[in-house]
A and B are shown apart, each in its own frame.
Chain A
């Protein structure tokens, strides 16, 4: 158990998200993208790295519908997926 003399420990303070709150998707405009992502997670044993393409597609859906502020996907951690996309012919399922 930590004692009061543990000066190096930080107590948990919740911080607001960097880019604020997602507006609610009241009309389910991106539900299909969410479903595809969730299906990917289920099939991959809930491995986030396996489903980044679907995660990116979901966020793109939000941005296209003003449900998320537009941000270059490279800045959201998808730089490697964008580079892949521009090298190959894009395949849309």
Chain B
């Protein structure tokens, strides 16, 4: 995979928490400039400000949605339960790349901004969440 240097893309980051979860959750950078075909690292941060452990699970969204098919996450913190102890704060990395084929797609020619949004939910026993692969 080779970087496509003449297609700089701005990736911005959103963080949301569902009303059910009391974590503080936010991105550690509001934006990062990338090119298709080159891996990139970004961070979120989460804190449990309560006095009880809380288990969260997250999903993500990519806008514009047509760009989502080119957004490849190598590794992140999503779709698996993450437990934060009382007062605990952790870094949450996302390691990703935009597929070089993005630069070949005429429908993507005007896209120079991609927004990645993560949302955390509280994982409660017996609760079913609409997440891929979540048991």
Contacts and interface: CB of A to CB of B under 8 A. Distances in A.
B24 interface: no
Given A38-B43, A49-B35, A55-B40, A17 B91 contact: no
Contact of A17 (B66, B73, B84, B90): B73
A11 interface: yes
A7 interface: no
Interface in A1-36: 9-22, 24-26, 28, 30-31, 34
Contacts, number: 114
A21 B80 contact: yes
Given A10-B66, A31-B91, A21 B40 contact: no
B77 A77 contact: no
B75 A78 contact: no
Interface residues of A, number: 38
Contacts of A48: 32-35, 38, 40-41
A45 interface: yes
A64 interface: no
Contacts of A55: 39-41
A25 B74 contact: no
Interface of B: 1, 3, 28-29, 31-35, 38-41, 43, 59-62, 65-66, 68-69, 72-80, 82-85, 88, 90-93, 95, 97, 131-133
